Structure 1
Amino acid sequence: MKNLLKLEEVGQFGFAIFFFSQLEFQWWLFPLCLLLPDVSMVGYLVNPKIGAWMYNFFHHKFLAILVLILGFWLKIPIVEFAGIILWAHSSMDRIFGYGLKFEDNFKQTHLGSMGNK
């Protein structure tokens, strides 16, 4: 099952790259900005609950798709770009086993426990 879920995420990451290719941005911006959503981990400096909330907010695909649709609807390329980056980043994280976080521990995710398996 894990491989099937990872394959689904690879497909979504591919779609994000495709959508990015439809924009007029330089290609080097995609890999440069791909890790920006991880800035949300700064919430863990406050406490695990705030950290998990901030991380989950910026790594939730509903937010990414909402921003992407809003950008397309309003015809604002930078908003489209932000939505694509959020979507691609969330898919990439899930490919590598980083899921949405529980409040008790950074390593406890909706995909299971991270770390040595």
Structure 2
Amino acid sequence: MKNLLKLEELGQFMLVIILFNQLDYAWWIFTACILLPDLSIIGYAVNTKTGAWVYNFFHHKLIAIAVIGAGFLLNNSLLTLAGVIVFGYSSMDRMFGYGLKNEDSFKNTHLGLIEENGKS
């Protein structure tokens, strides 16, 4: 089942590549921005509950889709880019076994526990 889910995430990441290609940005922008959602880890400096909330907000695909939609509706390419980046990073993250965080621990995700070697 895990491999099937990883293939699904790969398909979503490929969709992000297609969406980004429709935007009027150079590809270096994509590579420069793709890891930005991980800055949300700073919420863990407060506590695990705040950390999980902030992290999940910036890794949630529905929020990313809403931002993409708002960008299209408002004809705002920067907003669209932000949504594409969040959606792409979330898919990439889940391909590697990292999921949305539970409040008790950074390593406890909706995909299961993250092991020490980075695999779930």
TM bucket, shorter chain: over 0.9
Q: TM-score, normalised by structure 2?
A: 0.95
Classify the secondary structure of the residue corresponding to 2:102: coil
Find the aligned partners of 2:20 and 2:33 in 1 and give their Cα distance: 12
Matched residue type, 2:95: I
Find the aligned partners of 1:107 and 1:13 in 2 and give their Cα distance: 23
Find the aligned partners of 1:11 and 1:108 in 2 and give their Cα distance: 25
Structure (1/2) with the larger strand percentage: 2
Classify the secondary structure of the residue corresponding to 2:97: coil
Aligned ranges for residues 20-39 of structure 1 at < 5 Å?
A: 20-39=20-39
Matched residue type, 1:58: F
Q: Which residue of 2 aligns with 1:51?
A: 51
Structure 2 unmatched ranges of 5 or more: none
Structure 1 unmatched ranges of 5 or more: none
Identity %: 58
Classify the secondary structure of the residue corresponding to 1:99: coil
| Structure 1 runs (4+) greater than 6 angstroms displaced | none
Q: TM-score, normalised by structure 1?
A: 0.98
**Counterpart check, 1:105 vs 2:105:** yes
Matched residue type, 1:114: I
Classify the secondary structure of the residue corresponding to 1:98: coil
Q: Which residue of 2 aligns with 1:88?
A: 88
Q: Residues 83-112 of structure 1: CA distance to partner in whole angstroms, max 9, x if unpaired?
A: 000000000000000100001010000000
Q: Residues 31-83 of structure 1: CA distance to partner in whole angstroms, max 9, x if unpaired?
A: 11000001111000000000000000110000000000110111100011000
Find the aligned partners of 2:73 and 2:28 in 1 and give their Cα distance: 25
